[in-house]
Structure formats: C-alpha cells, structure tokens
Amino acid sequence: MGRGMAEPGWVFRAAGLTKIYRMGEVEVQALRGIDLELRRGELVVLLGPSGSGKSTLLNILGGLDTPTAGEVSYLERNLSTASETELTLFRRDHVGFVFQFYNLIPSLTARENVAAVTEIAKAPMKPEEALAMVGLGSRLDHFPAQLSGGEQQRVAIARAIAKNPAVLLCDEPTGALDSTTGIIVLEALEKVNRELGTLTVLITHNAGIADMADRVIRLSDGRIVEERHNTVKRVAHELSW
Amino acid sequence: MTALDLKLLRDLWHMRGQVLAIAAVIAGGVATLVMSLSTYDSLLTTRDLFYSEYRFAQVFTTLKRAPESVAQRLKEIPGVERLETRVVAVVKLEVAGFNDPVTGMLSSLPDVGMPLLNTLHLKRGRWLTPYSGDEIIVSDTFADAHGLHPGDRIHAVIHGKRKALTLVGVALSPEYVYQIAPGAMFPDFKRYGVLWMGRHALAAAYDMDGAFNNVALTLTPGTDEQAVIRRLDTLLAPYGGVGAHGRKDQFSNRFLSEELKQLQTTATVFPSIFMGVAAFLLNVVVTRLIATQREQIAILKAFGYHHAAIGWHFVKLVMAIALLGVAAGTALGMWFGNGLAGVYMELYRFPYLEYVLEPPVIFIALAVTSAAALSGTLLAVGRAIRLPPAEGMRPETPVAYRATLLERLGLQRLCSQPTRMILRHIERRPLKSLLTVFGIACAGGLMMVGNYQRGAIDFMVDVQFKHAAREDLAVTFLEPTSGRALHELAQLPGVRHVEGFRDVAANLRFGHYHYRSAIYGIQPEGVLHRSLDSELRPVAVPAGGVVLTDHLANNILHVQPGDLLTVEVLEGRRQVLQVPVLGLTRQFLGVSAYMRQDTLNELLREGDVVSGAYLSHDPGVEQDLYDRLHGRPRVLGMVAHAAAIKSFYATLGEFVLFFNMVATALAATIAFGVVYNSARIALSERGRELASLRVLGFTHGEIAYILLGELGALTLAAIPVGFAVGAGLCGILVVVFASDLYRLPLVLEPYNFALGATVVAASAMVSGWLVWRQLGRLDLVGVLKTRE
Ligand SMILES: Nc1ncnc2c1ncn2[C@@H]1O[C@H](COP(=O)(O)OP(=O)(O)OP(=O)(O)O)[C@@H](O)[C@H]1O
Ligand SMILES: [Mg+2]
C-alpha cells in the first residue's frame, strides 16, 4: 500500500519493543527494548543464540503477535495498536512468511498449500511458478508427509513468495537444507528481494549466510547487541557452508 | 474448487470413522424424532380421513326402547343434520372350535342401502342382501382372530335364543377403530367381536320390532353440541335414555384419542430427550474436534484469512457431518415410522394408512442439529482464533502438570509411571474429563430410557392382576340382579370364591371438571377385587363414600379426600348424588371410582343388587365352567383375566416392544458414537505425544495403556453416573406419560441397568480395539517429520 506514496525512509520502525510471556508465576522476557528501523528493499539477517528472541521479533513485525510494550509501525500503520482485522489485512496484503516449523497444511498437496495463499492474494504468481522457483516443479502433487523436511521447507518458501509480498519474513528458511538446496532457496529469496524490492528479513544460525545481507543484526537475551552493514554483499551462489 | 474446500473434503475423508460416528449420534436423535412425529401425524391424518370419509357420527346415545315414531321428533331437534336410529344388542357368540366366552356387539344396518352414518369399509365379501334373515358382516379383527371367511357360520345367543348366522362380509367401521369389550382393560379380538346385521332381522330376534335402542347423529356446522344433547336426553328420558354423549366420550374414539395423546407425548418427549442428548454430545464432540485443528486455524490466520472465512470453513465441515446425520436419520426415521405405523394398524383398524412426514419435522431436526453443531463449532473456532497465530502455531506449550491427588497423598508407589500419566492427564483437564464422563453417561442413560417400559409394564400388569383384580373371571349379568344370584354361581363345580359387584355408568363432577366413567360397588372385605393404598397394600373401601384412583382425583377431577363429589348416575332413575370422597387408591391401569356395594345400593335406593360377579376357580375347570355359565340366560358376558393379560401383551405389548427395540437400537448407536468419538479424539489430541513415546522405546501395549487406560477409567466412572441420568430420564417419562389409560410406574429392573452398562462397556471395548489398531499404525517417522 505504501509503495509509490511519499514514503518515510523506513518500512518498519520499532521503538522500545518489549515482549513478556507469562505462564502462571513464571515470566519469560523474550524482548527487552528493541529499537530498529528496516528500510525498503533491504535484505536483513537476524543472528543470535537460541532463545534470544529472534522468532518473537519476527512474529511481531509480521503482525502475528503483539508487543507487551513499545511501538512498532509498518509505514504509516501502527501495528502495536492495530485491531485484529487490520492485522489480518496487513498480513494478507503485505507479508509473506516462512515459519520455523514450516507449518504446512497436512491435508493439502504442495501445490494446494501454495494455492491456499494465492487464492486470497491480490497479485500472486501461479503456485506452479513459485514451486518451480524453489526447485519443486516436479513434486507439485505430493502431500507434506510425502516430502522430506527440506522439501517441506521449500514448499513453505514457495508459499511465502508466491503472493509477491512487500515484506518477506523468513524464520530459518535453510535450517533443514544441505548447502546446494539451501543456495537454490536463497537465490530465490534474493531474486524476489532484488527484482521486486521486497524487504526481506531472514533468521539464521548460519553466520555464512550473513554475507548476502545488506545489514546484519545480532540479538542476545532479547536485546540488539550488534548491528553491522555489509560493505560487500555477496550473491547467494557464492556462499557455502 | 478452492484449496480450503479441498482441505475440507480431505479432512472429512481422513476422519471418516469419526464422521460416521458423529453422524450416527445425530441420526439416532433425528430418527427418533422423525419416527415418532411421522407416526403421530400419519395416524391423526388417517383417523380424520377415515372419520370423514365414512361419516362417523358426532353424537351418540343409547336407550332402553323407543318406537320408531320418536325418531321424527329427534330429527326435528335444531342443529341435527343427519340422524339414524339403530338396534344394538350385546350378545353371546359361539365360534366353532373356540370354547372361551365370546361377547359380540351386534348393530343393525338398514335393510336396504347404505347407512347414513358410521358406514362400513368392506374389506372382503359383500353387503347384506336386502331383508336377509341371517346374514352378518363382522369386523375384520374378529374375522382375522378366528380365521373366519365369507360363507362361514357362527351362532349367537340373542335375547336368550340361539340363532345361526352366515358371515357374508368382513368390514371396518369408524365407530370401532379401537375395539374393546365394555369393562375390559385391553382389546381382545378373539373374545370380543363387532358384528352387523339387517335391522329387520335383528329387531325380530331382539324383540325390537318397530323400535330402536340406539341413535347416532351429525350436527350442522356451528351447532352447540351440548344443547342438542340436552334436547335429546329430555326427549329420550321416558324411553330409558342413558344420556347422550359426543364423540369425545364415544368409546372407541375416546380410547383412540387417549392413545394418540399418549403417542403425541411419546413423540414429543422421546425425541426431545434423544435429540437433547444427541445435540449435547454433538456439541462436545465438535468442540473437541475443532480444538484439534488449532494449529491449522493459526496457519490460516497467519496467511491473512479473515475470521469469518475460517469460521465458515469449519461451519461447512461440521454442517457436512450434521447434514449426513440428518439425512440418514430422516431416512431411518421414515423406515421405522412406517414400521411403527404398521404395528399401530394392527391395533387400530383403519382401512388404509396415510403416511405423512410433515416438512416441519425435518426442519426441527435440522434446526436442533445445526444449533448444536454450530454453537460447538463457533465456540471452539472462536477459542482457537483468539489465540495469537504465533502461539497457535507452535506446539502447544507443555502444560503445567501437577502431581495428582493420589501422589500428593503419598500413594505414588501404588502407580506405575504410565498410570501416573493417565491420572495426571485426567486431573489436568477436569472439565474435559467431566464432559466426557457426562457424555458417556448420557448415552448409557438413553439406553435405560429405551428399554425401561417393558419392566414397568410387567410391574403394572402384576399389580393390577395379582394385587388389585385377582379374579379369574368377571361375569356380567344381562340386568342388575338380586344378590341371591351369587349363591347359584358359588354352587357351580370348581368355583372357589364369588364376589358380587354393582357398577353403574355415571358422570363424576367436581367444580368445572367432570369425567364420564362408572362407579364400581365392590365388597369391603373382598379378597378378589380390592383397592390398594399408596403403598400398594389392599385397603377396605370405607362405607358412605367413594374412593378414587389417585390419577382421577389429582389430575382429572382435582378433588381431594373430604371434598363432595357430584355423581350424575346415567342409568335407571338417573339420580344426581353428592358423595364424599373418602380416600384415594393407587392404580396404574385405567381410572375408577370405588364404593362399597352396599353404599352404592343404598344411594341408588335399591336392595342387594349386583351387576355381576368376580369369580375365582380351581385350575383346569375353565371349559366346563364357561359352558355352564354360558348356558345361564342371566349371564351376558365373561372376561377371563389370563386371556386378557395375554391379549394385552399381544397388542399393546407388541407396540411397546417394537418401540423399545428401535429406541434401544438408536440409543446403542448414540452410545457407540459417543464412546468411539471420545476415544478417537483423544487419539488425535495425543497422537504426537504417544508417537514420541514409541520413538523413545515404549511398546505398543504401553502407549495403548496410557490412552485406553484413560478411556477405561472415564467409562467406568460414567457407568454409575449413567444409571443416575437414566433413572432421571425415566422419571421424566413417567410424569409426562401419565394418562387415563395407564400410568407407568418408575420401576427399574436390574436388567435395565445391566443393559445400559453393557452397551457402554461394549462400545468402549470396540472403540478401544479400533483405537488399538490405529495406534499400531502410528506413523512414527511422519510424526517426527511433519507437524500437525
Ligand atoms: N508462547 C510462549 N510462551 C512462553 N515463552 C515463550 C513463548 N514463545 C517464546 N517464548 C520464550 O521466549 C524466548 C524467546 O523465544 P524465541 O522463539 O523468540 O527464540 P528464538 O531466538 O527464535 O530461538 P530459536 O533460535 O531456538 O528459535 C525463549 O526463552 C522462549 O522460551
Ligand atoms: Mg526461533
């Protein structure tokens, strides 16, 4: 929606973002005051040890979760105060997700899992096209249970990019992949980022992948502990791990 | 087709076992509803059609004897549309090869042409030839019971003279849809027959030449029935009129109406209970079913599907199941309804059955089912939707288990690790466990509702014939007779005991309530015919007043002991008496008003007069005794009680059995559906957990124990709760089923409980076996790979 308007320099802006999970008497502070700006067309990599709050941050940016305190905006839209319906529309129209646990619908084939998203999108590509981009053109009619973990992950990525989203949020998209397939997937993400100017946020445990980012943000214990700009940005097929 | 619709179809196919089980629960409820209501509507429609097509009269009266010339004056009563006079005689019948006493109700037909009113539907044979002397038409029940065909001959003792009659036709009459001998409790088609004969011939035999003793008429629309009845009574009083009455008090119609009212109650209460329970179970099952889809709801939400779209998706899923259930239930209900109506047709003689299924019935079924399904769906979807998608998508956070009560009591050494898992799981979700227990309990309770009537009827018959009416034989005299006649009866060989009784037709009135019945004068110290107190102990009827059946006093006349009851005698001098109500008597079958015979004689200002006698006799003397009694001119009819009980079980019993069988089958279906669903849902809820345990090295048997142990524990807990639910539901039935004809006592036999428990336990075992097999096929690798 924001594209083409008189835009601010950032797409996402977070200030003092805090998230506390409460389970009975136990409190888990997942985010402890995050300040952040993400710009249009950027490819950002989030690094950090397990439990440092990466997924939590990504979920809040994507409108899947709301912060306990602090503000987060997407363009002129304040996500921290948005209603359920506004968040739904935001996700539907602007965000492509790749979830850490893939979260495919077990009763739908690869093609149909993608179709479930393209059917409600404004200007999607064809499910087959999206699956071809992640090298799954020949596994269209397989059910999740008939695919390997990596293949499921690629279906999840196809599902995210198929709607040509303005923002792509990927939680460990290559976690289960060998480096060859991983690179195919990263190339697909890179292509979407470059050609469509899609802001892409990518969580990974793999420091090697950080080399393809414009910016690398490192989290630890719910805080940003390091932020660096890559002066040289490598293309995906030059990476290896 | 959209991806979501595809998912819907696949999900339905994937859960087909559960889909069928849920549909079975719905079908059980809907079938009961459709069966009961369609049977009721069919019988009502058939009756009305039969009545109007065969011109059933609206006002009836009997009298001693009036010359035919009086008829003209009756026809001139304002409001009378058509009027027909008849000769009606109660006769003794002799059928070759059948030795029991047989009573016949012999009515006249016009010598030429059709009757104006109460026309016959000729089933076989032909009409009487004009002015025939010995031709008769008999009711089909009697013909069927004795295998009589046109051309057969029977004998009748009319007015003391034995006459040979030739059967020419077999017919049905709107006047005798429900055929029951006066004074009898149940229909007995072998020992009571309705016959028709030419007027001329009957009048000659019955000493009614140029006279009549029975009148039937219809009214012009808008006429005040009571006004016509009053005029009729005044005009016929000099001729021994016994008080005219409308259709409401016409014998067959009254019984039919009572039965239909009973059926209507059945048709309301049974389905309400069944549908109510089915709806509750449906709601519980659907709620849990949707809860297992929580992750998928979260995914759809994350993609930006609107709440409404997600809700609609699951509504479609559940409605598909509900519609399957309603459709199956409707088909099943129509099938049973046809069967049930067929059983009724045996009891009520209609020439045809007009089977109707009113669309509103299906609409009600749909509405109730949808409401239950939708409320459950929306509740569960709403709960899942309220979760932020980020949370819905992760595996459910390990819940906070606690040490169970047992462990806190320090008894953990008694339990193995898996047993502890079972107990903790039950304790962690107390509400869910309670709902499961209650659901299974309801299913067990339904089983008891389905089959309790049989025992209740046995008890009712036992009380009536072993405690209250213990006579072997009830003999009615042609006319009230001096008590000396009893001595003659006592002299007959084999007779052990004789007790006279005096009964008189009367209208009982209290305030604006009234009931047309009879007063029975019985012996205060009688050993054969007795009245029972509320504890079912025999009590003597006190002198100087009347004792009423509890139902008659409480629910019909609204009179209490101590009140003065107005008794309008409908015979003889037709006195209007004020009689104190002295007490109530407990009676399950029929309603009666009892007095001491001497009190009644006194009130009627007559001496020691009896209308008949109750007899007990030695075993084996029946035939000889019947023959001797038959030969006595004073004896009009006899009712043998053993035969009456047998005929009761053959008629009403057959209906009850059919209904019980169907209700029990449906209840069992529901019970199985519920138990299977509980097991199956538990499996889908815990499939991952169990698969992980398998991966860790637990055996098939061990994980089955964890899952099925819980089901077993909940089922065991549910059985006694089911007993309570069943007893409660039966209690409701007892209250709503109370009618003039009978009141079912609340007696639950051990087999009622046993059947409920057995069906629940068997359902649990079969479900357990099915789940056991599925546990064997748990996809260990798949579970680790995909996340459902
Ligand atoms: N729903 C929840 N309830 C309670 N605590 C939670 C919940 N979700 C996350 N947490 C906690 O918040 C913290 C951050 O979790 P998060 O999932 O963001 O970590 P992460 O950086 O993505 O880790 P990983 O690399 O292992 O995926 C963790 O300590 C986690 O236990
Ligand atoms: Mg994470």
> Residue B151: left (phi > 0), alpha (psi -120 to 50), or beta?
left
Q: Which ligand gives the minimal distance to the CA of A52?
A: 1
Cβ pair B187, B647 in contact under 8 A? yes
**B622 and B677 co-located in one domain:** no
Which residues are near ligand 1 (CB < 6 Å)?
Answer: A 21, 23, 28, 30, 48, 50-56, 100; B 391, 397
- The atom number, within ligand 1, closest to the CA of A58 reads 18
Rounded to 10 degrees, the C-alpha dihedral B664/B665/B668/B670 comes to -110
| DSSP at B677 | H
- Asked whether residue A203 is assigned to any structural domain, the reply reads yes
Q: CB count, 10 Å around CB of B144?
A: 16
**B118 and B178 co-located in one domain:** yes
Of the candidates B444, B442, B446, B439, which has an alpha carbon nearest to the alpha carbon of residue B730? B446
**The predicted structure's pLDDT at residue A3:** 45
Cβ pair B474, B183 in contact under 8 A? yes
CB–CB contact A108 B782 (8 Å): no
Which residue does chain A place closest to B395, by CA atoms?
Answer: A101
Residue B165: strand, helix, or coil? strand
Q: Two tokens at A164?
A: 């040509």
Tell me how close the Cα of B764 comes to any Cα of chain A, in angstroms.
29
- Asked whether residue B151 is assigned to any structural domain, the reply reads yes
- Asked whether residue A149 is assigned to any structural domain, the reply reads yes
For the range B411-417, what are the long-range contacts, defined as Cβ-Cβ under 8 Å and sequence gap of 24 or more?
Answer: none
Where residue A206 sits, what CATH number does that domain have?
3.40.50.300
- Asked whether residue B447 is assigned to any structural domain, the reply reads yes
Q: Which ligand gives the minimal distance to the CA of A47?
A: 1
- The atom number, within ligand 1, closest to the CA of B391 reads 1
Which chain residues have CB less than 5 Å from ligand 2, an ion? Answer: A 55, 100
Q: Quick one: CA dihedral B77, B81, B87, B93, positive or negative?
A: negative
- Asked whether residue B499 is assigned to any structural domain, the reply reads yes
User: Which among A85, A112, A116 is the nearest to B303, CB-wise?
Assistant: A116
**B752 and B650 co-located in one domain:** yes
**The predicted structure's pLDDT at residue B224:** 92
Q: Given B645, B670, B695, which residue is the final one in a domain?
A: B645
**B664 and B637 co-located in one domain:** no
**The predicted structure's pLDDT at residue B788:** 39
Which residue does chain B place closest to A56, by CA atoms?
Answer: B390
**B638 and B571 co-located in one domain:** yes
**B459 and B561 co-located in one domain:** no
Which chain A residues contact residue B386 at CB under 8 A?
none
- Asked whether residue B369 is assigned to any structural domain, the reply reads no
- Asked whether residue B422 is assigned to any structural domain, the reply reads no
- Asked whether residue A208 is assigned to any structural domain, the reply reads yes
**B529 and B490 co-located in one domain:** yes
**B652 and B778 co-located in one domain:** yes
**B246 and B185 co-located in one domain:** yes
Residue range of the domain that includes A197: 10-238
- Asked whether residue B246 is assigned to any structural domain, the reply reads yes
Of the candidates A179, A156, A183, which has an alpha carbon nearest to the alpha carbon of residue A169? A156
Tell me how close the Cα of B554 comes to any Cα of chain A, in angstroms.
60
- Asked whether residue B29 is assigned to any structural domain, the reply reads no
- Averages of pLDDT over runs of 10 residues in chain B (788 residues) are 88 86 87 88 90 94 92 93 94 85 90 92 93 92 92 89 93 89 74 92 92 94 92 90 87 84 78 77 76 83 87 90 92 89 79 85 88 84 80 60 62 67 77 84 85 82 85 86 89 91 90 88 88 86 92 91 92 87 88 91 91 90 82 76 74 72 82 84 79 75 86 91 91 81 84 89 90 80 50
Residue range of the domain that includes B200: 60-255
> Residue B232: left (phi > 0), alpha (psi -120 to 50), or beta?
alpha
- Asked whether residue A1 is assigned to any structural domain, the reply reads no
Structural domains counted in chain B: 3
Q: CB count, 10 Å around CB of B41?
A: 21
| DSSP at A233 | P
CA B394 centroid distance within chain: 55
Of the candidates A33, A39, A6, which has an alpha carbon nearest to the alpha carbon of residue A18? A33
Cβ pair B64, B88 in contact under 8 A? no
Tallying the residues shown for chain A, one arrives at 241
Each of the 241 residues of chain A gets a pLDDT tens digit; together they read 444 445 567 899 999 999 998 877 788 999 999 999 999 999 999 999 999 999 999 989 998 888 999 999 999 889 999 888 888 889 888 999 888 777 888 888 899 999 988 888 888 999 999 999 888 889 999 988 888 878 888 899 899 999 889 999 999 888 777 888 888 888 888 888 988 889 999 999 888 889 999 999 999 999 999 999 988 888 888 877 6
Structural domains counted in chain A: 1
- What is the identity of the amino acid at B361? V
CA of B360: how far to CAs of A193, B33, B269, B273, B295, in Å? Answer: 61, 11, 17, 19, 39
**The predicted structure's pLDDT at residue A120:** 85
Residue reference for tokens 């906070």 = B400
Q: Quick one: CA dihedral B562, B568, B571, B573, positive or negative?
A: positive
Cβ pair B304, A120 in contact under 8 A? yes
**B126 and B238 co-located in one domain:** yes
**The predicted structure's pLDDT at residue B185:** 65
Which residue does chain B place closest to A112, by CA atoms?
Answer: B3
Q: Which ligand gives the minimal distance to the CA of A19?
A: 1
- Asked whether residue A45 is assigned to any structural domain, the reply reads yes
Determine if the pTM surpasses 0.90: no
**The predicted structure's pLDDT at residue B143:** 93
**B135 and B244 co-located in one domain:** yes
- Asked whether residue B1 is assigned to any structural domain, the reply reads no
Strand order in the sheet with A26-39: A26-39, A10-23, A69-74, A77-78
CB–CB contact B786 A144 (8 Å): yes
Cβ pair A40, A4 in contact under 8 A? no
Report the DSSP beta bridge partners of residue B507: B516, B568
